[in-house]
Structure formats: structure tokens, C-alpha cells
Amino acid sequence: MARWLIKGDPADYGAADLERDKSTAWTGVKNALAQRHLRAMKRGDAVLFYHTGDEKAVVATAKVERAAAPATDASGEEESTAVRFAFVGWLERPVGLAEIKADVAFADFALVRIGRLSVMPVTEPQWQRILELSGR
């Protein structure tokens, strides 16, 4: 099982929306590297949900419910890759970006190195450290 982090702006669609909806198709990702990461996701992979905007924190966990499929626009043209995520649960407390940047365990984490990337892999040690920081 692989581990991932996805970013969402809670003003548009946040973890609370995913919890309410139980699952959602994640579409509209345009960045080529982020799309490559979406295409690499497999059913059952674990996902961290990161809030952008004012919060800037990892807030919840999810899982890949359905692996990547082409997403099409109204005319039927393929425009991006879609993955279906299901809500798993809230972290005990949010883990903020400043806290992540200050921790040497995340020196090579894409969240720190490539700040604008919206979908990225998470190593097992990084995953465990975020859970540890959150109080789990």
C-alpha cells in the first residue's frame, strides 16, 4: 500500500466536505507531476488530507476508493485524471506546515520542497511522524 498527500482548499472542498459526502471524485488537477501521482494511486492506498489557505495543515486521513480514470469535460474531451477518495477520519490535532518544515524528518518531503504541488507521495516514516505529531 502506498501513501499520499492531497491538498484541498476548505473554502472550495475540504475534509469536512469529504466527511459529509463520505467519498468524492478528485478531479481538476492540471499539474503533470500531480496527475502522474494520481495515476499511480491504487485502491486502498492511504491518503493524508492537507488544507491550504489560511489553515496550512494536515487535518484528516482518507483512502483511495477507486483508482485513476480519465476525467472528461462536458464535450467528452479528457481533461484530467480522477481518483475517488473516501473519508477515514480526523487527526487528533492538525499538523501545521510550520511544524512540518521545522522537523528534520521532513527535509526531503515534497510538501516542503515543492510547495505548489497538490498531490504527492508520502514515505512510511513521514506518514508515521505526521500521525505522531497529531497525537495518534
Q: Give the structural domain span for 80.
A: 3-134
Instruction: Quickly count: other Cβ atoms within 10 Å of residue 126's Cβ.
Output: 21
Q: What percent of the chain has pLDDT over 70?
A: 91
**Residue 72: is its pLDDT beyond 60?**
no
Question: How does pLDDT run across 77-106, given as a tens digit for each residue?
Answer: 556 678 999 999 999 999 999 999 999 999
**Residue 69: is its pLDDT beyond 80?**
no
- H or E element that contains 128: helix 124-134
Alpha-carbon distance 62 to 66, whole Å? Answer: 12
Give which of 110, 86, 88 is closest to 100, Cα–Cα: 110
Alpha-carbon distance 135 to 21, whole Å? Answer: 26
CA-based torsion, 54, 111, 136, 16: positive or negative? positive
Total number of domains in the chain: 1
CATH of the domain at 107: 3.10.590.10
Q: What is the DSSP letter of 104?
A: G
